[in-house]
């Protein structure tokens, strides 16, 4: 647990109390300030998993104290995001079994997409008590809440995002932030406008779907089939083995992300106006020198159809 607190204090802000208790009892796991009730009779990894999730509520439920009924995604979603980070760190340190992943949130993105495509999704703005199904509540609060932070990491860049999360905790601890307060900190730290992202991703169930329509010469035609605009990371792999990154900001962001670790040395291209269905991307390479082109090679963007993110288009074997 020492390792958990060290890592979480570093990533999400300092836990301000002297103690924390894990108490056997209740059903499943239920978080309280400075303590959690947890049921036994679990595998070791399940016990660690539930302990870490409930503990991470100390940051988002106990200390920040956002309204869990009005904004369940700011509590369950952020705790889920933090727990995925902590569990991945413990795997990297070989303290628990399981494989370290470059990005521990990709599974949540897949779960969110499957549910979004099922047609049963409800927007994050729904009051926790008023979802029509438990699965719509669970997916919105836990899964899409985690995916929302992953989308912000993609939009802001990973370094700026980490700084923004710390700033959110330090600015709003013990002050009960609402959704406005959270997004305002994200905007201040990044210098980007993010109201559009909130309008789409929090207030609606619109989805993201970008496509590479084709390339001729050095001109790539990109298409937006979805209703949520996003900035695009484009990776071009050349036949000589070199990789070229291009970054297309959304005009409504009024800025660009900074360099980050998982998408680096990118060339900033002109803005994509969200009202335009297509975009012509002029790259420095020629079609004949290219092996492949991919939208968001980090796979962080919650694009509901990844099949059309890649050129040349592969045979569709599974969804």
Strand 21-24 and strand 35-38: the pairing is parallel
Q: Which residues, numbered 45-104, are part of the site for Zn ion (CB under 5 A)? A: 76
Residue 77 near residue 116 (C-beta atoms within 8 A): no
Residue 236 β-bridge partners? 244, 293
Smallest separation, CB 6 to Zn ion (Å): 22
Return the number of the residue (76 or 121) whose C-beta is nearest Zn ion.
76
Report in angstroms how near the CB of residue 32 gets to Zn ion at its nearest. 12
Q: How far apart are CA 287 and CA 215, in angstroms?
A: 7
Q: For Zn ion, give the closer residue by CB, 76 or 256.
A: 76
What's the number of CA atoms in the CB half-sphere (13 Å) around residue 56? Answer: 28
Our CB check for Zn ion shows the closer of 80 and 285 to be 80
Restricted to residues 136-195, the positions that interact with Zn ion (CB under 5 A) are none
CB of 177 to Zn ion, least distance (A): 18
Q: Considering beta carbons, is residue 76 or 271 the nearer one to Zn ion?
A: 76
Q: In the complex with Zn ion, which residue's Cβ is closer, 76 or 303? A: 76
Q: Smallest gap, in angstroms, from Cβ of residue 256 to Zn ion?
A: 35
The full DSSP string for 182-220 is HHHHHHHHHT---HHHHHHHTT----B-EEEEEEETTEE
User: How many whole angstroms separate alpha carbon 187 and alpha carbon 273?
Assistant: 19
When CB distances to Zn ion are compared, the closest residue is 76
Please give the size of the binding site for Zn ion, defined by CB under 5 A.
Answer: 1
Chain residues in the site for Zn ion (CB under 5 A): 76
């Amino acid at each position: 647990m020492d390792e958990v607190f060290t890592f979480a204090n570093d990533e999400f802000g300092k836990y301000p109390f002297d103690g924390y208790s894990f108490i056997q009892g209740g059903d499943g796991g239920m978080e309280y300030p400075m303590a959690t009730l947890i049921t036994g009779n679990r595998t070791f990894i399940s016990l660690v998993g539930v302990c870490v999730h409930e503990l991470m509520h100390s940051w988002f439920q106990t200390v920040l104290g956002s309204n869990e009924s009005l904004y369940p995604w700011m509590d369950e979603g952020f705790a889920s995001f933090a727990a995925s980070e902590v569990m991945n760190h413990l795997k990297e340190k070989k303290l628990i079994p399981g494989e370290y992943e470059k990005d521990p949130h990709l599974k949540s993105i897949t779960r969110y997409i499957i549910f979004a495509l099922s047609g049963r999704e409800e927007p994050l703005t729904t009051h926790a008590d008023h979802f029509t199904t438990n699965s719509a509540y669970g997916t919105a609060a836990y899964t899409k809440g985690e995916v929302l932070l992953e989308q912000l990491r993609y939009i802001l860049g990973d370094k700026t995002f980490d700084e923004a999360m710390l700033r959110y905790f330090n600015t709003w601890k013990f002050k009960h932030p609402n959704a406005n307060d959270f997004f305002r900190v994200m905007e201040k730290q990044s210098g980007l406008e993010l109201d559009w992202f909130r309008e789409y991703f929090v207030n609606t169930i619109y989805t993201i779907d970008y496509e590479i329509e084709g390339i001729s010469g050095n001109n790539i035609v990109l298409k937006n089939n979805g209703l949520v605009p996003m900035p695009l990371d484009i990776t071009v792999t050349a036949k000589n083995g070199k990789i070229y990154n291009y970054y297309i900001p959304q005009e409504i962001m009024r800025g660009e992300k900074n360099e980050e670790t998982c998408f680096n040395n990118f060339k900033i291209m002109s803005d994509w106006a969200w009202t335009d269905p297509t975009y012509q991307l002029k790259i420095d390479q020629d079609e004949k020198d290219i092996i492949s082109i991919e939208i968001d090679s980090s796979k962080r963007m919650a694009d509901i159809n990844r099949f059309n993110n890649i050129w040349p288009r592969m045979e569709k074997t599974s969804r």
